């Protein structure tokens, strides 16, 4: 057997706060079974600091944990529990830099327009940490995400609220029908290993090298596509007018955090289309002041005080809001609109939340209203329209009876990495973008105009083979039909369909129901089966993995945080992901305001049990297997007793849920077949049971007052530990182990 350690990641926002409460429990219990637990800091702040060791004192320096874990993920002994982390947009990155500088870290400012070599080097360092910097590094395997039976039973017993749907709902999705990423896509499969070059050949013959070296492997799928700015502008102008004519809210749904190059640009186009008159009159003034629509209204408003005509421009924006269609709101009470911050409305979380709430978003008066959801790129927008149409025709889904749509997702080795950050470019001059091989042959070519957004992505052959294998294994393990969501009329998908059919022949699929349907048709089949209480495995690429693992769980369970997310790493290790972090900013704001953390750690509980089981498999440690089995029992009781965080002050929050898991886990261990562990945990089980009333009183007693944690992106460890571990009785009981 091999040496192994469970790595528990230190991340951001609410999951990071929860770690200060839950990790001491994990460490205490694991130590009794001889299972080592270590942490690695892959938070946004940690990733930033790791880029600039030469600018920090010896005491301030931290290691590059993300690179370390990326290498570990390629080894058979990898066992990583990965909590949600910030996929930083530019405003989030700037806020983190400002906070760290205020804490005494001498890191440089973010160069918006780097000119010098030093500025370019700093910009390149920051570009490594913004957007989806973490997931592509750690995901050396494909995704297996599903609701465990205990979670499904809980959802049926305690169905969450669903808004009623009306047959005359005017909610719809608007998406482009030409000249977007989906329609302009070209795709090739590499015949051999090579190094490609991406270049822009301008009309006068000048060649600008956009990416000098793109190493590729034989069998790798390479895609290139372009969204044309002129067509995007026309489309958005039409949707602003449509929303006003139909009397519905206007909302844009993008992924500016992960699509960190393309989607902030698209977001800027949305802002300009909504406030066309403002930018026609004042666009030059805003540009001269460095106030970009790509960063949203909040960023523009913050800079207007420095302009001589700032009040006049602000009044023009106010008039634009008053005269345009009603804008969907992120926070009606504070006047924060859909267009304030590019990272506030993330498509995979915002669309299912809207569908769950009767197809409504919130208007400026704080009331629900039908909505025109604008998703410019049409690659996957159709799946949401199918679900909306189904709800309009048949009403809301019933969580007490509905089936599931578990997911097998292609993502290993940055497969279809949809941010494609190092291969996405805003075009500066008219010409032709070409992908050229080492022999000088042009593999992919697009004519482009200034402002167009061109991007490429890669999908290696090994992950595709593993994806097909995982789909077959899940279909056989469950007996449920598995559908590959692939569209034969799309260039990339057409290549994948050929590969899937080839690799399916390598497996025994006798008796299995495995098919290939377009995403729209696959959605229709899946929602029809959902209403019959039946399960359908969605086998998808990277983007749809992200979308589906929020869409269906939010409708079925009320949250995607209750899903089990296992990544069987290709080289034999395991990555265990713990849920979605989309609501984490609201949770941390509530903690600071009233010392109440609503974050649900069930994803951590589920992942930890799987991690212990993997540790037992890798090392032969029987105690780890007992920890896994007893934690599963504790999780089931936790759900059955409904000890998840409540919704209001005076109920248990995240810290209380940790206490109850610790209690139920200790009780399960005290009754286990391992005599040594049973004897070790029996006293703790008794102590926690006897002190339950005291401990819960101590946990509830701190609620209602502000909590000082000393920072948002890098809080003070002593302060946050004190906030997250307020029960002296519970702390002493743990220490007794």
pLDDT-based confidence at residue 1 (cuts at 50, 70, 90): very low
420-470 pLDDT, tens digit per residue, is 578 999 999 999 999 999 999 999 999 999 999 999 999 999 999 999 999
pLDDT-based confidence at residue 2 (cuts at 50, 70, 90): very low
Give the whole-angstrom CA distance, residue 22 versus residue 271. 42
Residue 276 has pLDDT above 50, yes or no: yes
Say what the alpha-carbon torsion angle 59, 65, 67, 71 is, to the nearest 10 degrees: 130
199-220 pLDDT, tens digit per residue, is 999 999 999 999 999 999 999 9
139-177 pLDDT, tens digit per residue, is 889 999 998 888 888 889 889 999 999 999 999 999 999
Residue 419 has pLDDT above 80, yes or no: no
The SS3 of residue 691 is coil
Average pLDDT over residues 121-132: 88
User: Which letter, b or e, does each residue of 284-306 get, where b requires 16 or more Cβ atoms within 10 Å of its Cβ?
Assistant: ebbeebebbbbbbbebbeebbee
Contact criterion met (CB below 8 Å) for 381 and 253:
no
Share of the chain above pLDDT 70, in %: 99
Residue of 128 and 388 predicted with greater confidence: 388
Quickly list DSSP for 514-563: EEEE-HHHHHHHHHHHHHTT---EEEE-HHHHHHHHHHHHHHHHS-STTS
Give the whole-angstrom CA distance, residue 698 versus residue 200. 64
Say which residue the tokens 């909302």 belong to: 251
Average pLDDT over residues 89-97: 90
DSSP 293: G
Cβ-based burial of 677 (10 A; exposed 0-12, middle 13-18, buried ≥19): buried
pTM of the model: 0.86
Average pLDDT over residues 510-539: 98
Give the whole-angstrom CA distance, residue 7 versus residue 12. 16
Average pLDDT over residues 173-199: 98
Residue 563 has pLDDT above 80, yes or no: yes
Give the whole-angstrom CA distance, residue 574 versus residue 555. 28
Share of the chain above pLDDT 90, in %: 87
Residue 131 has pLDDT above 90, yes or no: no
688-709 pLDDT, tens digit per residue, is 999 999 999 999 999 999 999 9
8-67 pLDDT, tens digit per residue, is 999 999 999 999 999 999 999 999 999 999 999 999 999 999 999 999 999 999 999 999
318-374 pLDDT, tens digit per residue, is 999 999 999 999 999 999 999 999 988 999 999 999 999 999 999 999 999 999 999
């Amino acid at each position: 057997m091999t040496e192994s350690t469970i790595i528990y990641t230190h991340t951001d926002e609410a999951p990071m706060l929860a770690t200060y409460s839950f990790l001491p429990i994990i460490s205490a219990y694991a130590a009794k079974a001889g299972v080592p637990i270590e942490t690695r800091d892959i938070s946004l702040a940690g990733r930033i600091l790791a880029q600039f060791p030469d600018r920090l004192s010896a005491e301030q320096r931290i290691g590059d944990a993300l690179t370390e874990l990326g290498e570990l993920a390629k080894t058979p002994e990898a066992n990583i529990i990965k909590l949600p982390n910030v996929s930083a947009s530019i405003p989030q990155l700037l806020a983190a830099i400002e906070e760290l500088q205020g804490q005494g870290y001498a890191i440089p400012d973010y160069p918006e327009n780097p000119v010098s070599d030093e500025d370019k080097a700093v910009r390149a360092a920051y570009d490594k940490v913004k957007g989806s910097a973490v997931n592509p590094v750690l995901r050396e395997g494909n995704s297996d995400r599903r609701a465990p039976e205990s979670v499904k039973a809980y959802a049926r017993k305690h169905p969450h609220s669903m808004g009623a749907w009306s047959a005359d709902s005017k909610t719809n999705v608007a998406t482009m029908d030409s000249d977007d990423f989906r329609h302009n896509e070209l795709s090739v499969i590499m015949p051999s290993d090579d190094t490609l070059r991406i270049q822009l050949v301008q009309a006068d013959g000048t060649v600008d090298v956009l990416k000098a070296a793109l190493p590729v492997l034989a069998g790798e799928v390479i895609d290139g596509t372009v969204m044309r700015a002129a067509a995007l502008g026309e489309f958005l102008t039409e949707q602003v007018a449509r929303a006003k004519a139909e009397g519905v809210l206007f909302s844009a749904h993008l992924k500016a955090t992960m699509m960190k190059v393309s989607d902030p640009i698209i977001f800027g186009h949305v802002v300009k289309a909504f406030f066309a008159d403002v930018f026609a009159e004042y666009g030059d003034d805003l540009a001269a002041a460095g106030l970009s629509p790509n960063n949203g209204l909040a960023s523009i408003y913050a800079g207007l005080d420095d302009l001589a005509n700032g009040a006049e421009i602000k009044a023009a924006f106010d008039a634009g809001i008053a005269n345009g269609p009603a804008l969907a709101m992120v926070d009606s009470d504070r006047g924060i609109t859909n267009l304030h911050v590019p990272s506030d409305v993330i498509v995979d979380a915002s669309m299912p939340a809207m569908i769950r709430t009767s197809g409504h978003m919130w208007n400026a008066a704080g009331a629900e209203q039908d909505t025109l959801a604008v998703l410019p790129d049409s690659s996957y927008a159709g799946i949401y329209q199918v679900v909306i149409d189904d709800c309009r025709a048949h009403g809301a889904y019933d969580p007490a009876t509905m089936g599931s749509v578990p997911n097998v997702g292609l993502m290993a080795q940055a497969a279809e990495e949809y941010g494609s950050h190092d291969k996405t470019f805003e075009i500066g001059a008219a010409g032709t973008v070409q992908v050229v091989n080492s022999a000088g042959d042009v593999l992919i070519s697009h004519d482009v105009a200034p402002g167009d957004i061109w991007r490429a992505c890669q999908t290696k052959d090994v992950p595709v083979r593993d994806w097909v294998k995982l789909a077959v294994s899940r279909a056989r393990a469950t007996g449920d039909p598995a559908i590959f969501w692939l569209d034969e009329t799309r260039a990339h998908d057409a290549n994948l369909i050929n590969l899937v059919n080839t690799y399916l022949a390598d497996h025994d699929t006798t008796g299995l129901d495995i098919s290939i349907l377009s995403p729209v048709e696959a959605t229709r089949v899946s929602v029809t089966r959902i209403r019959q209480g039946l399960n359908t495995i969605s086998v998808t690429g990277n983007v749809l993995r992200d979308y589906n693992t929020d869409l269906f769980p939010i409708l079925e369970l009320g949250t995607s945080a209750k899903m089990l997310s296992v990544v069987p790493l290709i080289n034999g290790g395991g990555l265990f992901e713990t849920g979605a972090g989309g609501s984490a900013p609201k949770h941390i704001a509530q903690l600071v305001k009233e010392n109440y953390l609503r974050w649900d750690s069930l994803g951590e509980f589920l992942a930890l049990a799987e991690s212990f089981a993997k540790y037992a498999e890798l090392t032969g440690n029987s105690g780890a297997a007992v920890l896994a089995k007893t934690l599963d029992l504790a999780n089931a009781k936790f759900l059955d007793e409904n000890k998840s965080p409540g919704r209001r002050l005076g109920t248990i929050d995240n810290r209380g849920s940790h206490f109850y898991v610790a209690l139920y886990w200790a009780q399960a261990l005290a009754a286990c077949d391992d005599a040594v562990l049973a004897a070790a945990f029996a006293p703790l089980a008794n102590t926690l049971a006897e002190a339950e009333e005291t401990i819960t009183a101590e946990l509830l007693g701190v609620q209602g007052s502000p909590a000082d944690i000393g920072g948002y992106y890098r809080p003070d460890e002593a302060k946050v530990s004190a906030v997250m571990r307020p029960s002296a009785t519970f702390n002493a009981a743990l220490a007794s182990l």
